[in-house]
Amino acid sequence: GAVVSQHPSRVICKSGTSVKIECRSLDFQATTMFWYRQFPKQSLMLMATSNEGSKATYEQGVEKDKFLINHASLTLSTLTVTSAHPEDSSFYICSASDRYQETQYFGPGTRLLVL
């Protein structure tokens, strides 16, 4: 099956710093990648959708200058949390699909803790 990796799996940073999370599709070309945020014992909330080579589409209420998304290639998308604050602490999950797939393939997630 399709494999999606995320790096890092866990990151602790100081308030005010920026953190970059990578999402890679290992065995297929991901024309679309999705970024989600999940709070403990809650569902996934879609943050943004990114298509290779174009700007990401952000969901309502998600600050695009706060959460920078780049999808420069068909196998890599990055999410940068800029000037992170404790309230940004969360579990961030990416997923990927190609134009032929109806399903999304999820990465293992990145747990961010901002002190």
Among 14, 41, 54, 86, binds other proteins (CB under 8 A): 41
- Residue 89 binds to other proteins (criterion: CB under 8 A): no
Indicate the residue among 28 and 105 with the shorter CB distance to other proteins: 105
For other proteins (CB under 8 A), the number of binding residues is: 26
**What does the block give as tokens for 11?**
């990151």
By the 10 Å C-beta count (0-12 exposed, 13-18 middle, 19+ buried), 65 is classed as exposed
Q: Does 69 help bind other proteins (rule: CB under 8 A)?
A: no
Cα gap 43→58, rounded to integer Å? 18
Q: For strand 10-13 and strand 4-7, is the pairing parallel, antiparallel, or unpaired?
A: unpaired
Give the range of 14-22, 73-81, 82-90, 96-104 binding other proteins by CB under 8 A: 96-104
Q: Which residue in the block uniquely carries the two structure tokens 């909330």? A: 45
Q: Which of 8, 16, 53, 108 binds other proteins (CB under 8 A)?
A: 108
The nearer residue to other proteins, 75 or 107, going by C-beta atoms, is 107
Contact 24, 75 (CB under 8 A): yes
Residue whose token pair is 């990416």: 94
Residue selected from 25, 97, 112, 114 as contacting other proteins according to rule CB under 8 A: 97
Among 46, 62, 68, 76, binds other proteins (CB under 8 A): 46
